[in-house]
Amino acid sequence: MRSLLPYLQQFKYAKTSLIIGVILMITGLAASIGLMTVSGWFLSATAIAGAGTLFNFFYPSASVRGLAIGRTAARYAEKIVTHDATFRILAKLRVTVFSKIIPLSPAVLNRYRNSDLLNRLVADVDTLDSLYLRLVAPFMSAVIVIALMTLALSFFHLPLALFIGFTLLILLLIIPTIFYRLGTKFGQPLTQSRQQYRSQFVEFIQAQAELLLFNAEDKLKTQLNDTETQWQNYQQRESNLSGLSTALVLFANGLLLALTLWFAAAADFGSDTYKAAFIGLFTFAALAAFEILMPIGAAFLHIGQVIASAQNVTEIMEQHPLVQFNDTESAVDFSKILFDIQNLSFHYPERQDMALNQLNVQIPAQSKVAILGKTGSGKSTLLQLLVRNYNPTQGTIQLGNKPISAYTETALREHIGFLTQRVHVFSDSLRQNLQIANKTTLSDERMINVLNAVGLNKLLADEKGLDQWLGDGGRPLSGGEQRRLGLARILLNDAPILLLDEPTEGLDRETERQVLQLILQHAENKTLIMVTHRLTAIEQFDQILVVDHAELVEQGEFTQLIQKETGYFKELYGRI
């Protein structure tokens, strides 16, 4: 239960609505119990009065109608207010969780699958809506309504009122306790199996092309079906216990009803003509009171899942970023040496093999640097360190004669444009997917010119032009078109430093040459650092770094490296 405390604190963001919701819930329950109670007395008194007796039925009939209308209005208003407040809290909670997740990217988030993060951010947060709607508000309302009902009935017969009140209060304590303990036994595994199923299902959908290509679909289908069966078994257990809670509440209701009828029949209600009608009043009050307890058992049975979801979300929120931006430097000196890398070594978290080992490089401002090497040699890792996605394990990186850790995150992001191997396309218009490349508003003419330059003029043929919707993950675009969209963003970016990771991967030779000329032209007065496997236009770079097995094995200008008799670069150049 302690794991729920941080989420109970979220109630402060909609406390007025939540309080009004509880009041409306109490009003609806009180009106419902009052309706049954007055109806019980009214029917009994009418039967006692008979056909030939004068009987004022206006007051009780008006009360019945008023309570019926009041119950309907209160419950309708309560549903609106409580659900609106809950959705506001969940929206605030999602923003809070997302703001905690952002600083963890990518160093910490790489430990989690994307489908797992999605499940925690959506399904687990959704589960927490039960905290107020099914637990806190009904329990608070039940306590208050039992107290009010006991007080009201005490005016007619104090011992009988106390008997009903204390019985309901004891049941209110016993039933949640029993089903809380039952629910916590399978709440965690049920939540885990749901999370596992959804993660596997998302990955199954995303990998359809590869699964069909390698004929591996059946194996994953079997695995998915096994997970689904396990999840359904836990759901079956929950349904069985939910039915048991309903049966126990109905049994207790019948028992209390019989005892109330027994005690009321022997109770002394004075000498009033309609004193026997009070038997019906107390009996119907006891019958209606179980509307208070009916949702409580099922709600506390569900609390195991709420706790498990809260723990899943808390686990993410309590992670600490490996890279923290605590300093305040914002101005970068571009006068001479821009990047000064000394004795740089790095290995990824939870791994011991070195991704980079004792790297020493100086990169002047406005120079053009190409980084070559085999896959896995550490090229992309160097770019990750230059944008401070990770901190070096050993050694230093200076940017403009100052440690790179001295700069604010905003300053680094504004000064460095980074194109990764994976281009993300947002579920938005083409215009907005290009606009994110520049903090200033881009003109349509500039965006159209860049799209034509990178060979995406086909997109402009659409009647909606820049306003066409690209959809989730850029579904209308092929892999090559997504790469070109990433290149278009770089060409629209005004940052003075450009880091490009395999920008021409997947392009044919002629298109690659055209794109490289565009990049070099755009970076004429910028610092360009580009990772590549290919040697097209390599002679136009001021400096070439050759990395192999996490170490810098060669560096220099094209003419210097090509003249080495046994050089790594010369061998690579001759082979390609």
CB 377 within 8 A of CB 550: yes
CB 31 within 8 A of CB 39: no
**Strand 394-399 relative to strand 402-403: parallel, antiparallel, unpaired?**
antiparallel
CB 448 within 8 A of CB 466: yes
Coil vs helix vs strand at 107: coil
CB 435 within 8 A of CB 442: yes
| Token digits of residue 459 | 């997109």
- The count of other CB atoms within 10 Å of the CB of residue 549 is 12
Could you say which residues of the chain have pLDDT below 70?
A: 1, 51-55, 270-273, 473-475, 576
Output phi, psi for 43, to 5 deg. -65, -45
What pLDDT score was predicted for residue 24? 92
CATH 3.40.710.10 is right for the domain spanning 337-575 = no
| Token digits of residue 318 | 């309590």
pLDDT in tens, 290-331: 888 888 877 787 787 888 888 888 888 888 888 888 888 888
Domains 2-317 and 337-575 share a fold: no
Strands (DSSP E) contained in 161-214 are none
- The residues, ordered by sequence, that sit 6+ positions from 504 with a Cβ below 8 Å of its Cβ are 511, 512, 515, 516, 532, 534, 536
The order of strands in the sheet holding 416-419 is 416-419, 497-501, 527-531, 368-373, 543-548, 551-556
What pLDDT score was predicted for residue 1? 65
Cα gap 323→105, rounded to integer Å: 9
What pLDDT score was predicted for residue 429? 85
- The count of other CB atoms within 10 Å of the CB of residue 251 is 10
- The residues, ordered by sequence, that sit 6+ positions from 75 with a Cβ below 8 Å of its Cβ are 24, 28
Q: Which of 133, 79, 107 is nearest to 302 (CA)?
A: 133
What pLDDT score was predicted for residue 444? 86
What pLDDT score was predicted for residue 326? 83
The order of strands in the sheet holding 356-364 is 356-364, 337-346, 394-399, 402-403
Q: Which of 344, 330, 346 is nearest to 400 (CA)?
A: 330
Coil vs helix vs strand at 286: helix
What pLDDT score was predicted for residue 477? 77
Q: Record the pTM.
A: 0.72
Q: Which of 552, 567, 575 is nearest to 372 (CA)?
A: 552
Strands (DSSP E) contained in 402-549 are 402-403, 416-419, 497-501, 527-531, 543-548
Environment class of residue 318 by beta-carbon count within 10 Å: exposed (0-12), middle (13-18) or buried (19+)? exposed
Q: How far is CA 270 from CA 153, 273, 275, 319, in A?
A: 15, 9, 7, 69
Cα gap 63→531, rounded to integer Å: 81
Q: Which of 375, 408, 433 is nearest to 550 (CA)?
A: 375
Environment class of residue 569 by beta-carbon count within 10 Å: exposed (0-12), middle (13-18) or buried (19+)? buried
CB 125 within 8 A of CB 156: no
- Whether residue 106 is preceded by a cis peptide bond, meaning omega within 30 degrees of 0, is yes
| Token digits of residue 13 | 């963001």
Beta bridge partners of 546: 372, 554
What pLDDT score was predicted for residue 474? 67
pLDDT in tens, 176-234: 888 888 777 777 788 888 888 888 888 788 777 777 878 878 888 888 899 889 888 88
**The CATH number of the domain covering residues in 2-317:** 1.20.1560.10
Output phi, psi for 266, to 5 deg. -100, 0
| Token digits of residue 542 | 């001021």
Q: Which of 86, 96, 42 is nearest to 64 (CA)?
A: 42
What pLDDT score was predicted for residue 271? 64
Q: How is 517-566 classified by DSSP, letter by letter?
A: HHHHHHTTTSEEEEE-S--TTGGG-SEEEEEETTEEEEEE-HHHHHT-TT
Q: Where are the domains of the chain?
A: 2-317, 337-575
| Token digits of residue 512 | 């690659």
What pLDDT score was predicted for residue 51? 55
What pLDDT score was predicted for residue 147? 92
- The count of other CB atoms within 10 Å of the CB of residue 394 is 13
**Strand 402-403 relative to strand 337-346: parallel, antiparallel, unpaired?**
unpaired
Q: What one-character DSSP code corresponds to residue 477? A: S
| Token digits of residue 10 | 């979220």
Q: How far is CA 409 from CA 132, 363, 385, 438, 527, in A?
A: 38, 21, 13, 16, 19
